[in-house]
Amino acid sequence: MKIKPLGIIVVLLIMGVLAYFALSPRLTGGNTDGATATTTSPSMPGNNRTTDNTTDVPAASTTTPGTPAAGTAEEAREFNYTPEKPENGTLRGVVEVGATGFNSFVINMDRQKRWEIVSKDFGESLAYEGLATTEDIRAGLKKYLAAMFDKGVANKNMHFVISSGAQKVPKTSIIINELKKMGYVVNNVTAAQEGKMGFGATVPPAFADNSFLVDIGSGNTKISWQENGRLQSIELPGAKYYEKGTADEQVYNQVKTLVAKIPENKRNVGFILGGVPFTLAKQHRKGEERYTVLKAPAAYKAADKKMASGLTIYKGLAEATGTDTFVFDWDANFTIGFLLSLNQ
């Protein structure tokens, strides 16, 4: 029997419909192998819990987009905290004579010890290399101080602090003598005092009971925390330990051993200061924010020996504490803690 053209079209349509229904599970993405797409809450590096992108810290938070694992370079985090402003404050200045040069700060501080930075020469200070003779030292100091006086600091409110690391540097004694000849009182501080002063200036009150401070200096590293109402401190090698021929592994192991003394409930956030942390934070600071959350140690590449040594200390600290949030404070310094400790 011969099929007419219209019949052929009908047959083809019927075959097409049957083919469609036979293939529809595949065309509509039907799951035949049991696999399903899932979404998970990101896990914060350094702990075993999931989070909704915030760490459970008081009065502030850190945020982490994505799901970074510890030691990755993808982290882009923020520390959201705003200190109280001083009221009817007084301008005060402090100069730190450090192991490699000077840092200076002018702050506005009120009677309740609330403070804010007015000016700072932090991390890129007057270096010792330019102070060859006593005349150079005197001229350099006068120029350095004049800039601070121009900001409104009264002579009586200017202070000098000699860091514990600087006290080990021969040239420091010459600088101290010149300052005394200029009529200034020079305050020598120990590593323990530095740690405690740094804690007071850097760690916000809301974090004082559950966090710690680390200050990685050139001459030594200071770590402090509050325990039973008193500040405890540890001194470790500084970022220039290589100059003494000390091996990286030795320092790394020493850091891990001593840092274990920090109680578990004091490891919420590590507030961090020092020259190497300054260099690390500078690489990814977003603007003029006061706080920059550092990335994991493995995310950084050392540009020189000092930075490599500082990263060894940072790595040992992060691994020993399990702390995943290290916050660099662009305004704080232990010398500001010295000003806060004064009874005036």
Q: What is the DSSP string of 97-121?
A: E-SSBEEEEEEEE-TT--EEEEEEE
- Could you list the pLDDT tens digit for every one of the 344 residues in the chain? 555 555 566 556 656 655 555 555 444 444 433 333 332 323 223 332 323 333 344 444 444 333 333 444 445 689 989 999 999 999 999 988 877 777 889 999 999 999 999 998 755 455 666 666 778 778 877 887 888 899 999 989 999 999 888 888 887 888 888 888 888 889 999 988 988 999 999 999 999 999 999 999 988 999 999 999 899 999 999 999 999 999 999 999 999 999 999 999 999 999 999 999 999 999 999 889 999 999 999 999 999 999 999 999 999 999 999 999 999 999 998 999 999 999 76
Reference 101, options 74, 122, 118; nearest CA is 122
Q: Which of 315, 333, 308, 204 is nearest to 254 (CA)?
A: 315
Domains of the chain: 90-188 (3.30.420.40), 191-336 (3.30.420.150)
β-pairing verdict for 220-227 and 212-216: antiparallel
pLDDT at residue 53, rounded to an integer:
34
E strand residue ranges, 179-317: 186-188, 212-216, 220-227, 230-237, 270-274, 291-293
CB 334 within 8 A of CB 198: yes
pLDDT reported for residue 122: 59
Q: Decide if 201 contacts 122 (C-beta within 8 A).
A: no
The continuous run of DSSP H or E covering 94 comes out as: strand 90-97
- The per-residue pLDDT for 101 is 74
What is the pLDDT, as a whole number, of residue 147? 84
- Contact yes or no for 95/178 (Cβ under 8 A): no
Rounded to 5, what percent of the chain is helix, strand, coil? 40, 20, 40
- Amino acid letter, residue 266: K
Nearest residue to 100 via CA among 189, 165, 176, 147: 165
Q: Report which secondary-structure segment, H or E, holds 250.
A: helix 248-259
121 strand-pairing partners: 104
Instruction: Look at residue 106 in the predicted model and tell me its pLDDT.
Output: 94
Q: Reduced to 3 states, what is the DSSP secondary structure of residue 243?
A: helix
**pLDDT, position 18:** 56
- Tell me the whole-structure pTM to 2 decimals: 0.73
Amino acid identity, position 273: L
